Structure 1
Amino acid sequence: MIHLTDTLSLPSVSLSGFDSPLTEDEVALQSMVHRFARDVMRPIGRELDAMSPEDVIAAQSPYWSAMQEAAALGLDPGLLAQIDSPAGRVESLIGEELGWGDAGLAVSIAAGSFPLEMAKASGKQELIDLCEGKIGCWVITQPDRGSDSINLYTKEMHPGTTQVKGNLTAKVQGDEIVINGQCAAWVSNGAVAQVALCYIAADYGDGFERDDCLTNGSAIIVPLDLPGVSRGRPLDKIGQRALPQGEIYFDNVRVPKRFAVAGKDDYHANLAATWSYAGTHMCQVFTGVARSAFELALAYCHERKQGGVPLMEHQLTRFRIGDMLRRLEMTRASARRTLEFARFSPQKHPHVTAQGKVSVTEEAMKIVHEAFQLFGANGTSKEYPIEKIYRDTRSALIEDGENYMLTVRLGLTASMLYQEGWTQD
């Protein structure tokens, strides 16, 4: 039905763009997280960006105060699920605000909760108590087992090959799991985490390899203060420097078998579910990052003059701003749709979540690139925050799965669905 009005006015708009009306609870939560992002994340993120990786994780680093204040917000997913919000929209609103504040800190906050969320999903109170109040990390990639670590189907490998077991392995021995090796330097929070959710190849007494050429595996929650755990140097990288990443070494680390949340029979299904959940955070965070770049460019184009008038008075600038806004709205829609599927579909799948991550980060990079261009030479100066946002966003095209590799997996999924009858009616 067409609803008529008597006067012409500008469209309704919120912090998150052209939203349908938000509930009072949604507005209150969004406002609270926005203040935290503006007053805590942005200034601390800029400060950490200029520091060495070693100083970022030092005892007196502002990183720790940011994490403490984030924890004080009380953004527990279980509590958020009780809020009346269409299809999990409140989770999207919060993730976007965190990304708007600082990409590196936003990823660190999200990754920090993975072990606790898995402990809650397992229903094991001992593991919940073990993870409560601690910074976590997700150990999934290894130096020789990057993209191979998330192979779910034999079709993802070349004929005649087997899945690489990697540099970090486990042996199940009686009531213990013994872990040896190292994870990749790219593990988010690897340099600071107190507990890890580890997905690693495992030998249950009959070797690592399954009949289908994939590896047996185990998902284990590992306290990182156990004997035999050590760290490498924190990673020095171009972007998201507020996110402490680094290697973790395991030398005959003995973990009680009861700390496992998935074993020989359900490892790959558990991995798929975790990946489906984890990837949605990247979508929300980099929607917020894209929004921050758009807002900076919009303000700059009203301030900077060329040809005697503000940049915004030039028709081409209006087109470029309009195109950025169009892409931002498309990015937000894709991010929310991906989260809805991952949270509410009866048959969620990580390759679906991954396509959302690819779409969001690719569009975010286009938005950030255009904002960078509008700043001209000023954009290359560290005086302007767009330079940092550009570096942060570029990392996202590889982070949490390199985008081309993830798109290959989506193509495989399309083929497998077709072979089961999809689109053939």
Structure 2
Amino acid sequence: MFRLSAEQLAMQKMARDFTEKEIIPVAAEYDEQEKFPDAVIRKMWETGLVNFTVPEALGGVGLDTLTSCVLTEELGRGCAGITTVAAANSLALYPILIAGSEEQKKKFIPPITTAGKYAAFCLTEPNAGSDAASVATNAKAVDGGYVLNGSKCFITNGDVADLFVVFATVDKSKGLKGLTAFVVPKSDGVSAGKKEIKLGIRASSTVVVNFDNVFVPAENVLGGEGMGFKVAMQTLDTSRPLIGALSVGVARGAYESAVKYAKERVQFGQPIANFQMIQAMLANMATRIDASRLLVWRAADMVDQKDASFAKESAMAKMYASDVAMDVTTDAVQILGGYGYSREYPVEKYMRDAKIMQIYEGTNQIQRLVIAGNILR
């Protein structure tokens, strides 16, 4: 059984207190106005709640994955949209940490982490979501490097980022073997396009990013030409427990709201918490949240132990926790009834935010394929 250390418990309390003071009071406002939460992220950065897994020598917090998941759950309980902004920075820096040389790490990561700047992970395209082999963004070899042309969509932080990790093909005929990862600092030719108007996580910015004849030096390639798919998959395997933790936070926030309401709402002369149907719903919600957390912590621990086979457990954690988040938040709305459907209470926001957890960083259908592939291999 996992037992958090005294240091982890202290950090958990710090993140919980920060969430109560700085995130929950403004979450509805940022959601309603679809406003980018730069002021909140700045406070998170100053508090040490951004760039969790980046080593301290590179300007990060230097936490292990398990501790990062503990903190992500607390932040996600406050607002999944705000937490997604911070999590996207980690996602963008993971490929450099995983596949970058020491020189690349020292060159590209500290300017982001020490100044509290933003980074973006650019894989998805209009015709290349789950099918990475269909990536059409092209990297043409020229003297000294490559010229990038193409567009990426659904890019978190894409309009505020100073650094992009871009997956492009050097040879479309090679399929996945042509995919290559590039580190692309903000420059002429890099521009933000359409901003998505979203169901949930509205505080985060999700945009199209265009690359128009952008020169990238050869030394900005991560892991070598043709290694992009491997880099992308290693990145997602490593980051998925954090999405699981974020899902647990969203589910927990909705569950806690439902428990509070059930104790206070009186019908037929007694609190609805006395009714067995409500009790059964709450019992199922609590049990599945705990099961999700344990799956997340196991996967995170395997990442930290550098277990070579953690891809299956990572996919399980993300898939199960996000499915639970969708179910729990829906049940929370049901328990609150008409009030649950009203923006006066937070559970409708939790439900809207939960849906993306089943979609981003690999849909849950893809997670099931990853799990099955590992089982049958």
1:113 and 2:90 correspond: yes
Corresponding residue for residue 45 of structure 1: 27
Range with greater deviation from structure 2 (98-107 or 22-31): 22-31
Contact 2:145 2:217 in 1 (8 A): yes
1:269 and 2:252 correspond: no
**Structure 1: unaligned runs, 5 residues or longer:** 1-18, 58-62, 150-162, 418-425
Corresponding residue for residue 103 of structure 1: 80
TM-score w.r.t. length of structure 1 = 0.80
Range with greater deviation from structure 2 (313-322 or 103-112): 313-322
Contact 1:119 1:131 in 2 (8 A): no
Corresponding residue for residue 173 of structure 2: 209
Letter of the aligned partner of 2:222 in structure 1?
V
Letter of the aligned partner of 2:91 in structure 1?
F
TM-aligned CA deviation for residue 200 of structure 1: 1.9
TM-aligned CA deviation for residue 27 of structure 1: 2.0
Counterpart of 1:127 (choices 108, 122, 131) is 108
Letter of the aligned partner of 1:195 in structure 2?
L
Relative distance call for 1:51 and 1:370 in structure 2 (3 A) is same
More helix by share: 2
- Equivalences for 1:125-274 in 2 at 5 Å? 125-132=106-113, 133=115, 134-149=117-132, 163-166=133-136, 168-184=137-153, 186-201=154-169, 203=170, 207-210=171-174, 213-224=175-186, 226-274=187-235
1:26 and 2:3 correspond: no
TM-score w.r.t. length of structure 2 = 0.90
**Aligned to 1:395, what secondary structure does the other structure show?**
helix
State how many pairs are aligned.
365
TM-aligned CA deviation for residue 131 of structure 1: 3.1
TM-aligned CA deviation for residue 385 of structure 1: 0.5
1:305 and 2:274 correspond: no
Letter of the aligned partner of 2:240 in structure 1?
G
Corresponding residue for residue 369 of structure 1: 330
1:398 and 2:359 correspond: yes
**Aligned to 1:209, what secondary structure does the other structure show?**
helix
Cα distance in 2 for residues equivalent to 1:28 and 1:127 = 31
Contact 1:127 1:259 in 2 (8 A): no
Letter of the aligned partner of 1:148 in structure 2?
D
Letter of the aligned partner of 2:266 in structure 1?
K
Counterpart of 1:412 (choices 349, 370, 373) is 373
TM-aligned CA deviation for residue 208 of structure 1: 3.0
Relative distance call for 1:273 and 1:31 in structure 2 (3 A) is same
Letter of the aligned partner of 1:135 in structure 2?
Y
Letter of the aligned partner of 1:287 in structure 2?
V
Cα distance in 2 for residues equivalent to 1:188 and 1:368 = 23
Cα RMSD, aligned residues only: 2.2
TM-aligned CA deviation for residue 21 of structure 1: 5.1
TM-aligned CA deviation for residue 353 of structure 1: 2.0
Relative distance call for 1:89 and 1:280 in structure 2 (3 A) is closer
Q: For each residue in 1:119-172, what CA deviation from the matched residue of structure 2 results, as whole angstroms up to 9, or x when unmatched? A: 4442222122443332111101000111111xxxxxxxxxxxxx3232x22122
**Aligned to 1:145, what secondary structure does the other structure show?**
coil
Corresponding residue for residue 278 of structure 1: 239
**Aligned to 1:183, what secondary structure does the other structure show?**
strand
Cα distance in 2 for residues equivalent to 1:89 and 1:250 = 36
Corresponding residue for residue 154 of structure 1: none
Letter of the aligned partner of 2:127 in structure 1?
D
Identity of aligned residues (%): 26
Corresponding residue for residue 280 of structure 2: 319
Counterpart of 1:64 (choices 34, 38, 50) is 38
